[in-house]
Structure 1
Amino acid sequence: MMTEDYLKIKAQGVFAAGGIVQTASGTFDPIKGQMADDGQIRHSDHASIFYQIPADGNGKAITFLAGYGQSKNGWMSTPDGRDGFSNLFLKKGYGVYLADQPRRGAAGQSSVPVEISAKPDDLNWFTQFRMGLWPKFMSNSQFPQDEQSIDQFFRQMTPDTGKIDFQVITQALVASLEKSGPSVMMTHSQGGVPGWMIGAASDNVTGIIAIEPGSFFFPENEVPAKIDTKYPMPVQGVGVPMATFNKLIQKPIVVYYGDNIPDEPSEVPAWDFWRGVKQQAHQFADVVNAHGGDATIVYLPDEDIHGNDHFMFQDLNNAVIADHMAAWLVSHKL
């Protein structure tokens, strides 16, 4: 029986974008087949895009780029089976384009080899993502904490099948945007750096929503001093040519951070890292706005939205956060 809460999809599909074709020397012999390397070709380093367009949409689109160890699946649902961001924004009228970056997920065909580790490390990410200190969650956590949901969350992780190359990711996503047309970029975590690059490289990017990026672009002569934390690596901005920076800041930018980011140095290195990142985020916004751009930093507790971790788009209140982002989109006519 159909309920009132359903989606009517006008179009959906999958396509590959960008990438290269490797060609071995010689002439391929179809009789020898796999026994022969001469003349073989390999299509690799593309992005894989799943898209859906709502029947009664607003004519606008969002392209989603996942963070480290994640694929497009993380945008589609939540560990406890609620609507993910792709459905939530479809219901708001947006076409959604969910990207697997080159060398990951459904875009796993790589031009370079890599050894995939099988080392157990799930619980490190539990700390890094500010979910808590295993096995205890943060006292105000909005993450679904039943055993099945935790199992589903950890099973989202997926390996890279080749070295992460931001230039390769950028080229593939720029090609994707040439197919999709104008779109807001929504990035998460490690997806933030190629998100800045894609925003600077493509006129089809109309705005950027960055969820907890770990690094930011600055003009080459305005990179702030590195921020040392108790994490093994300092928080360090990336210097880019002024022309590149100016292209990026032609698009409105909003950056979201969840809860439980310490204001003072923390004994937990992974959490202290986020203290430094949040500090640099404000430096980024100050520089963008000083150069005539439009950058906003949203710290959810300041908006009276509490208990969110690094995966705010999967938390129990993800619909509240989607509403907040949608309000920003509408205010910028996106």
Structure 2
Amino acid sequence: MGRLKKPLIIEEQGSFTVGGEVIREPGTYDESHALSGAGQEKHVDNGYVFYQVPVNAKKVSLVFLHGAGQSGACFETTPDGREGFQTIFLRKGYPVYLLDQPRRGRAGASGVAGEVKPATDEALWFDIFRFGHYPKYFDHVQIPHSKEAEEQFWQKGTPNTGAFDPKLSAHALSAAVDRAGPSVLVTHSQGGLPGWLAAMENKKVKAIIALEPGVGFVFPKEEAPAPLSSSSPFGPLAPYPVDKEAFLKLTEIPILMIFGDNIPEKPSPHGGQDNWRVRLEEARLMAETINRYGGQAEVLHLPDIGIYGNTHFLFEDRNNEQIADIMGKWLEKVL
């Protein structure tokens, strides 16, 4: 476990659900045939939010959205027992809201049919997360990888109970912001696209920090670049075209995208790394497009400022406090 720190005083905490809908089965409810579902309702496709507010809190909240295969739990505690971003940013004075997106984690009531099957895929994700080339870790990699830490990391993953729907997740994220008040979105990986979409629909979003956004880089429809080819097992990376009017809303807020280490500059036969070569390239293209229209988007590649060894899980890496300090200084500058 991590070393003890000064006690953290929480003024308020709780949980609530956001978004979702109610589906109804036609017919008349009959108590003697209750399992038929006839004449009954089901609340589905909502998100779940756990929040904490420290004493003397800042006026802007941080709303966190996880990536694929994860839930809000990934921001709580690192695999080796140190403080996660949840408490690190509480100590910096921010109210912190952790969202489990619809059809994931504590928000598992899906409005569409789904199948959860065990899949032996951890070697694939080991490579995609840039821990190394399975089973060997990169030298000086920042992710904790004792036997216990490995177990804690992999057991924290959780499946979809229904298909991932970025618009559904964006609506839940926007609803969380409505409850939190003026907010900065902190998104990770697959959560990047719902973050862009939520910011387009909610003026209470004051900034975005996207930690290694992995899918759904947005562009005006008429300016979307061609798909980027790579050796990634997920194939080419296609942009996410949106109406120009919606895209321009991203020019109204500061945006920071942060990427870690071991991302090649040229095409690589290692699909896990090449997966991020094209995503870093697409992030830069997106930032350039935002800035061309008067926005303030930045892409920070950590090795460019002398920080090495970071993986796809910047908030669980051994230097997560250093990464949080970078984010904190940026927030102080732009808010």
**2:248 pairs with 1:246:** yes
Q: Report the Cα distance in structure 1 between the residues aligned to 2:180 and 2:280, rounded to whole angstroms.
A: 32
Q: Alpha-carbon deviation of 1:26?
A: 2.1
Task: Within 5 Å, give how 1:31-42 maps onto structure 2.
Answer: 31-32=31-32, 34-42=34-42
Q: Alpha-carbon deviation of 1:10?
A: 0.4
After TM superposition, the structure 1 stretch with the greater mean CA deviation from structure 2, 267-276 or 44-53, is 267-276
Q: Which residue of 1 aligns with 2:333?
A: 331
**Structure 2 alignment gaps of length 5 or more:** none
Q: Which residue of 2 aligns with 1:302?
A: 304
Q: Which residue of 2 aligns with 1:13?
A: 14
Q: Which residue of 2 aligns with 1:185?
A: 185
**2:19 pairs with 1:22:** no
Q: Alpha-carbon deviation of 1:282?
A: 1.1
Q: Report the Cα distance in structure 1 between the residues aligned to 2:119 and 2:232, rounded to whole angstroms.
A: 21
After TM superposition, the structure 1 stretch with the greater mean CA deviation from structure 2, 7-16 or 211-220, is 211-220
- TM-score when scaled to structure 1? 0.96
- TM-score when scaled to structure 2? 0.96
Q: Alpha-carbon deviation of 1:53?
A: 0.3
Task: Within 5 Å, give how 1:255-270 maps onto structure 2.
Answer: 255-270=257-272
Task: Within 5 Å, give how 1:185-334 maps onto structure 2.
Answer: 185-215=185-215, 216-232=217-233, 233-333=235-335
8 Å CA contact retained: 1:251, 1:293 = yes
Q: Report the Cα distance in structure 2 between the residues aligned to 1:33 and 1:92, rounded to whole angstroms.
A: 55
Q: Alpha-carbon deviation of 1:275?
A: 0.9
Q: Report the Cα distance in structure 1 between the residues aligned to 2:183 and 2:243, rounded to whole angstroms.
A: 24
Q: Which AA in structure 2 matches 1:54? A: P
Task: Within 5 Å, give how 1:148-187 maps onto structure 2.
Answer: 148-187=148-187
8 Å CA contact retained: 2:219, 2:240 = yes
8 Å CA contact retained: 2:59, 2:182 = no
Q: Alpha-carbon deviation of 1:266?
A: 1.1
Map Cα deviations across residues 236-292 of structure 1 (whole Å, 9 max, x no partner): 211111110011221110000000000121111121121111111111111110000
Q: Report the Cα distance in structure 1 between the residues aligned to 2:251 and 2:285, rounded to whole angstroms.
A: 14
Map Cα deviations across residues 82-112 of structure 1 (whole Å, 9 max, x no partner): 0000100000000000000000000000111
Q: Report the Cα distance in structure 2 between the residues aligned to 1:197 and 1:322, rounded to whole angstroms.
A: 24
8 Å CA contact retained: 1:59, 1:93 = no
Provide the alpha-carbon RMSD of the alignment: 1.2
Distance 1:112 1:4, change over 3 A: closer
Q: Report the Cα distance in structure 2 between the residues aligned to 1:35 and 1:190, rounded to whole angstroms.
A: 36
Q: Secondary structure at the match of 1:11?
A: strand
Q: Report the Cα distance in structure 1 between the residues aligned to 2:287 and 2:232, rounded to whole angstroms.
A: 23
Q: Report the Cα distance in structure 2 between the residues aligned to 1:35 and 1:319, rounded to whole angstroms.
A: 51
Q: Which AA in structure 2 matches 1:188? A: H
Q: Report the Cα distance in structure 2 between the residues aligned to 1:11 and 1:173, rounded to whole angstroms.
A: 20
Q: Report the Cα distance in structure 1 between the residues aligned to 2:203 and 2:194, rounded to whole angstroms.
A: 15
Q: Secondary structure at the match of 2:184?
A: strand
Q: Report the Cα distance in structure 1 between the residues aligned to 2:283 and 2:154, rounded to whole angstroms.
A: 28
Q: Which residue of 2 aligns with 1:44?
A: 44
Q: Secondary structure at the match of 1:314?
A: coil
8 Å CA contact retained: 2:173, 2:194 = no
Q: Which AA in structure 2 matches 1:7? A: L
